[in-house]
Amino acid sequence: MALLDDDRLHRATVRLSLPYRPPLDWGSLLGYLAARAIPGIEALDAGGRYCRSIRLHGHLGYVAVGPAAAGEVLQVELSAALLPVLVPLLARLRRLFDLDANPHAVAEHLGRDSVLAPLVARRPGLRVAGAADGFELALRAVLGQQVTVRGATTLAGRLARLLAEPLPGAPPALAYLPISADRVAAASLASISGIGLPRARAECVLALARAVAGGELPELVSDGLPGDPEAFGRRLGDLPGIGGWTVEYVTMRALHWPDAFPDGDIALRKAMGGLSPARLRAAAESWRPWRAYAAQHLWAGLGSAPRCRSG
């Protein structure tokens, strides 16, 4: 992840606080986001804050978020240009950092499981990272099919340089706006493949972008939470190249659904002693309705990244 150290970040900005229920494992959350950051769109600054560009309802800017020196709050610094969309922006940031979670309720439930109990005790306040931009997250998930986290980050950076619009006046580490579905949908298959994607995955990228641009997946551009994650999953899964892992991962992060669970994930299966997806799914039944948090603890326990079994 790029390191942002530029005084432009502090020009014409507003500062405010976002409260949360303690505890909050900020270090794990920041590390998770940093490993998956899209070059040119997301970065860390010199103070260890998460920074990213924002486009929301026609307003452009960037935000920087990190823990406050005291109190159970995160400190947010944002472009003054984003003030007209402050309410939906703060709602998105709360979902991105999972600030409305009740960590005690999650820990009490998952701590009853013999496998999860030591993991939960080791990382109190572990959160499930959400998304500031639903389409961006879904796109990143598709790029990550069958490749490492680092490989997916490289591909996402190439796609940003190819299709993302510049953010005027931004520091170099935040040079681009989030990639829009319209711009991807209008691109050619050859240009998408040209960033280093197999043809089938490039076709999947285009199918996803066209579905979002065409209004078929409104949950990925909505400011609200989904009414029916299962219906969303069926629509997403109907797209060519979208398998169960991608559906569950996108539902977990873009829709912020606490019971999403990618049972085909290689790392989760490894953490549970090499179970098959079917046996892992059965073992996870007792973790409902917090299976997304269980997955996050298992990933953290392995020091591993989510990795799909199939597209």
DSSP H stretches of helix in 1-83: 26-35
> Residue type at 29?
L
- Which one, of 67, 71, 62, 68, lies nearest residue 89 by Cα? 62
Q: Let me know: does 220 contact 209? Beta carbons within 8 Å.
A: no
Confirm whether 265 is a catalytic residue.
Answer: yes
Q: How far is CA 116 from the centre of its chain?
A: 23
DSSP state of 166: B
**Rounded CA gap, 285 and 39, in Å?**
37
**Rounded CA gap, 258 and 299, in Å?**
15
262 CB-near residues (< 8 Å, 6+ apart): 244, 245, 248, 249, 252, 268, 295, 306, 308
**Rounded CA gap, 62 and 194, in Å?**
29
> Residue type at 140?
R
**Rounded CA gap, 134 and 217, in Å?**
10
Scan for tokens 């170099």, then name that residue.
172
Residues for the chain: how many in total?
A: 311
- Which one, of 6, 167, 140, 181, lies nearest residue 82 by Cα? 167
State the catalytic residues.
Answer: 265
